[in-house]
Homo-oligomer: A and B are copies of this chain.
Amino acid sequence: MKETEFVIEHEVKLNKPILIEGLPGLGLVGKIAADHLLSELKAKKLGTLYSPFFPPQVVIKKGGLVDMMKNEFYYWQAEKDTQSDLLFIVGDHQGTNAESHYDLCNKILEVAELYNTKLIYTLGGYGTGSLSRSPKVFGAVNSKTLIKPLKSVGVSFEKSGGAIVGAAGLLLGQGKLQGIKGACLMGETHGQIIDARSAKAVLEVIQKLLHVDISLSQLESRAKKTEKMIEQVRKQEEEQAPMPPASLEGPTYIR
């Protein structure tokens, strides 16, 4: 693969869907929220995004099968008139350098436009350095018209001056240039811990926005699993620190 590629796996027609982005970020708030939402809604796989800008590796899954680095699109079709079809972009990775964030965002928007996406919600965390028992959800939008409806479901617009890094931000910025409205919903979070409580706050807001009703009881255990998995990886990392193959990389230096 020489450039970022979308491989469609399931042909489906969507009716002006809302794109939900939940890629990894601060406190993994957005990832946990989006993964939980699509799992509870039993969203189906639409296709996969491969990119030479993801880390150059595969991961070994249980049983020994390897998995390419990727982002995945899922879709969910509305059950009621009050609901919108949904398109999800989720995964374990964002780009490995500054320009690649733009590249991946381009491709995500390209797919979103393929399905006539009319609105984008990007999910993330807003770090405060402290733990809150009842985390707020802060909003940022690319169109003024979105502020009122968001406020009406409890989103706060008191924070400004920060930056939204990666897909959660660029999808709004570039989306605007392409005429797609969008909002970022950021759960208040400490910043140094994986935060299921903050993800829950974001999900409570998103449920109201999407008029869907999902169970949040498994959320805590999902976050615990994520934490355990990370702990395991950290332990393996210590054991497997790579040896720099000195003789093979940059030997004596004559210029």
Our pick among B55, B95, B251 for the contact of A59 (Cβ within 8 Å) is B251
Scan residues 105-145 of chain A and give those whose CB is less than 8 A from a CB of chain B.
Answer: 105-106, 124-130, 139-144
Complex contacts, A186 vs chain B, CB 8 Å: 254
Complex contacts, A142 vs chain B, CB 8 Å: 65-66
Chain B CB within 8 A of A96 CB? yes
- Residue from A99, A128, A238, A240 whose CB has the most chain B CB atoms within 10 Å: A240
Chain B CB within 8 A of A46 CB? no
- Residue from A25, A53, A59, A230 whose CB has the most chain B CB atoms within 10 Å: A59
Complex contacts, A229 vs chain B, CB 8 Å: 161, 247
Whether B66 pairs with A241 at a CB distance below 8 angstroms is: no
Count of residues in A whose CB is under 8 Å from the partner chain: 104
This chain's copy number in the assembly: 4
Whether A66 pairs with B177 at a CB distance below 8 angstroms is: no
Chain B CB within 8 A of A159 CB? yes
User: With contacts A239-B128, A252-B233, A254-B162 known, is A157 near B64, CB below 8 A?
Assistant: yes
Complex contacts, A233 vs chain B, CB 8 Å: 161-162, 246-247, 251-252
Complex contacts, A101 vs chain B, CB 8 Å: 56
Chain B CB within 8 A of A237 CB? yes
Chain B CB within 8 A of A6 CB? no
Complex contacts, A94 vs chain B, CB 8 Å: 255
Chain B CB within 8 A of A103 CB? yes
Whether A253 pairs with B68 at a CB distance below 8 angstroms is: no
Cα distance A162–B234 in the bound complex, in angstroms: 10
User: With contacts A66-B140, A96-B98, A230-B246 known, is A251 near B163, CB below 8 A?
Assistant: yes
Chain B CB within 8 A of A67 CB? yes
- Residue from A124, A163, A192 whose CB has the most chain B CB atoms within 10 Å: A163
User: With contacts A24-B245, A144-B65, A240-B253 known, is A161 near B232, CB below 8 A?
Assistant: yes
Chain B CB within 8 A of A58 CB? yes
Nearest B residue to A228 via CB reads B247
A-B contact pairs, 16 of them (CB 8 A): A24-B248, A24-B255, A25-B242, A25-B255, A52-B103, A56-B98, A57-B169, A58-B163, A60-B160, A93-B248, A125-B255, A129-B238, A162-B233, A192-B243, A229-B247, A230-B245
